[in-house]
Structure 1
Amino acid sequence: MEIPQANLGRGINLGNALEAPQEGEWGIVIQEYFFDKIKDVGFKAVRIPIRWSAHTETHFPYTINESFFQRVDDVINQALAGNLNVIINIHHFDELTEDPLQHEDKLYQIWRQITERYSGFPDQLIFELLNEPHEALTSDLWNQFIINLLEIIREANPERSVIIGPVQWNSISGLDSLALPQDQNLIVTFHFYSPFQFTHQGAEWVEGSDSWLGTTWEGTESEMSAITNDLDKAVRWAARNEIPLFMGEFGAYYKADYESRIRWTRFLAREAEKRDISWAYWEFGAGFGIYDIENDEWDMGLLNALIPHVLVFDKDASPQSQSR
């Protein structure tokens, strides 16, 4: 079954940076050289999660702090200079998911400022409306918010690609409740962390996850079928709606068995590609990461699971590692 292609290519999330309460609080400050590293190994896209809601005035019109805006400008320009597709979103707007109607206007005003500021930027800059709507942000509310947000964005960016995900944390199971207006430049995203007890074992923010430690992913027929069945469900939805898909997050936490992480990551990436689903791995250099910032080196096992046959050269221009 064929679906339209998003043509975003293989991507990576620069997580734990601009979506922290303040950049650096979660251990990562985005550096310009990150984008060279990312481009050089073959990634075509970066997704940059951003906590805009922590950098606005508390009252209408919720003006975004100019120094923060300039910081985002710099990061976007650095990524674009590397000829990468660049996705920016609204991330960790927790107040909105807890009380959507109370914070609806703030959501609109944030996007009004973003869309006006970046109206002249190249098409490689892509907007993603909101990360993982959930809780009180129901499908009925979210579907109406989508209509309103697209009207705002299209005033200044009539043809820019916009990524939209369903409720229930951008899950595949939420796709059936997603109702989209007619628009030729939409991409639908979903996130994939299944089986959750494998990908999030030992995650400090998930209550009870220590009891999952030791969970492996062996690549058995049943394990593989669970993944392909989910992906096929997403593809059927996309085919019915004639819209491209983007797997905007997937990854397994570092406390999981390493070889299992490689198997799961490789299998999921290849199966997504077989179905013309672009993807972005979660994430670059933190707990799910594939790049050791302190030691300036890639995790070659996971990198080659994502991008087969990558060859990275060290400072002496000799091979550091090769595909397994």
Structure 2
Amino acid sequence: MTASDAEARGAGQAQHASGVPAARWQRLTRGINLSHWFAQARRYDQAHLRSYITAADLDLIRAMGFAHVRFTLNPALLLDRAAPERLVAEALAEVDRALDLILARELAVIVDLHPEDDFKHWLGDSAEAASIFARFWRALAAHLAARDPEWLVLEVLNEPVIADGARWAAIQRAALQAMREGAPDHTLIASGHRWSSLPELLELEPVTDRNVVYNFHCYDPHIFTHQSATWSMSFLPHLRHLPYPSSPEAIAALLPRIDDPRAREAARVYGEERWNATRMRDWLAQAAAWAARHGVRLTCNEFGVYRVGALPEHRLAWLRDVRSILEELDIGWTMWDYAGGFSVVLDQDGRRVPDVATLAALGLSWS
């Protein structure tokens, strides 16, 4: 066993030095993201907010075996930049209604600020914006503090985009302090800069507050998890049916059919990199080793494979490997997502029904 393996395997023991209560932590070990509801939606009127995710959806999520949901919330719904301490009342009432529905089903909930990129660019542009953000979080945390801290967790910001790690760390520290002032007993979640990926986590210095969980996202290798995606790297729409695990032999037959030179070269490299369970474990073990060194709890609250371009059996193999490795390394997880492009449910005659194969890959069952 190498030193890094020993460190990673000791993560579970070292993490008990954190101030996150054990029962609270257990509720963060298997979850699902509620995307496109209070964030990433085309509209946020009451009709959408009361129909996209319903009590029946939340009952289904509980029945499928998830312990928590990540409630993605666009702060633009609640924030008046001229008066950040005053939360927009109409939207706040809808947020409260949604949280009531979730918590009534004994699902823990991560309240995750999940804005569009223009908000993140604004946040990174000035000290004034960072101050407004902290003041807003203090007010929102104080409002949410009335809810049981055993069941509700607060996450600073999804994928901050900000490229300067030191700048993001300063903004996050101020926000965490404001959140703690508003919610003295609740667990908080912090992440690295840019896209909150594993390399950014490894650059992050934990704060002194021990009731903080640290988070990263895993879409590695990106070329596989986002094949056919239209919102990421420009060549990805030219890729589909990439295999997992990867090897030069597995990719060879696909290369002549890829019409874009950049996409073809990226696929060739992906094959040579030989992504498989062993490589995924080595990759994720770096995160567990970081958590062990710092004595903190760690979660991966986004991971998944875009359904459009991936062959089902390869998508399921990746999900199974990543989920099982996260559990082995004592890293909590929240799959992306419930009913979007990476979903754990299928549409059957207008009804959402469990994708039994995806549940099995997540170590969950349905009967």
TM-score (norm 2): 0.79
2:104 equivalent to 1:81? yes
CA change 1:219–1:36 in 2 (3 A) is farther
* Alignment partner, residue 10 of structure 2: 2
Aligned to 1:105: 131
Match of 1:268 in 2: 322
Structure 2, unmatched stretches of 5+, are 1-8, 17-24, 248-273
CA distance in 2, matches of 1:226, 1:212: 22
2:258 matches 1:231: no
Could you list the per-position Cα deviations for residues 149-205 of structure 1 after superposition, in whole angstroms to 9, with x for gaps in the alignment?
122122232121001111131111012321222112110011000111111111121
SS in 2 for 1:292: strand
- Return the index of the structure with the highest Cα Rg: 2
Task: Output the CA distance in 2 between the equivalents of 1:156 and 1:104.
Answer: 17
Aligned pair in 2 of structure 1 residues 261, 222: CA closer, same or farther (>3 Å)?
closer
1:200-219 equivalences under 5 Å are: 200-206=226-232, 207-218=234-245
Q: Distance in 2 between matches of 1:249 and 1:23?
A: 23
Q: Quote the Cα distance in structure 2 between the aligned partners of 1:191 and 1:88.
A: 16
8 Å contact from structure 1 (residues 228, 271) kept in 2: yes
2:339 pairs, out of 280, 285, 291, with: 285
8 A Cα contact 2:215 2:300, kept in partner? yes
Counterpart in 1 of 2:4? none
Q: Paired residue for 1:296, among 352, 357, 360?
A: 352
SS of 2:194's equivalent? helix
Kept in 2, the 8 Å contact 1:249–1:282? The answer is yes
Q: Is the 8 A contact 1:52 1:64 kept in 2?
A: no
Higher helix share: 2
Structure 1 counterpart of 2:156, from 95, 110, 129: 129
Q: C-alpha distance in 2, partners of 1:296/1:156?
A: 37
Q: 1:131-280 maps to which residues of 2 (within 5 A)?
A: 131-136=158-163, 138-206=164-232, 207-218=234-245, 222-255=275-308, 256-280=310-334
* Contact persistence 2:67–2:108 (CA under 8 A): yes
> How many residues are matched?
310
Contact 1:23-1:29 at 8 Å conserved across structures: no
Report the Cα distance in structure 2 between the residues aligned to 1:196 and 1:235, rounded to whole angstroms. 20
State which drifts further: 30-39 or 233-242.
30-39
- Counterpart Cα distance in 1 of 2:121 and 2:217: 20
Runs (5+) with no aligned partner, structure 1 = 313-324
Query: CA, structure 1 residues 154+125, in 2 after alignment: closer, same or farther (shift >3 Å)?
Result: same
Query: In structure 2, how many angstroms separate the alpha carbons of the residues matched to 1:165 and 1:98?
Result: 17
TM normalised by structure 1 equals: 0.89
CA distance in 2, matches of 1:70, 1:307: 36
Distance 2:296 2:311 in 1: 36
CA distance in structure 1 between the partners assigned to 2:78 and 2:209 by the alignment: 30
Question: Does 1:30 pair with 2:61?
Answer: no
* Counterpart for residue 84 of structure 2: 61
Please tell me the root mean square deviation across aligned C-alpha atoms, in Å: 2.2
**Aligned letter for 1:240?**
R
CA distance in 2, matches of 1:140, 1:150: 15
Identity of aligned residues (%): 26
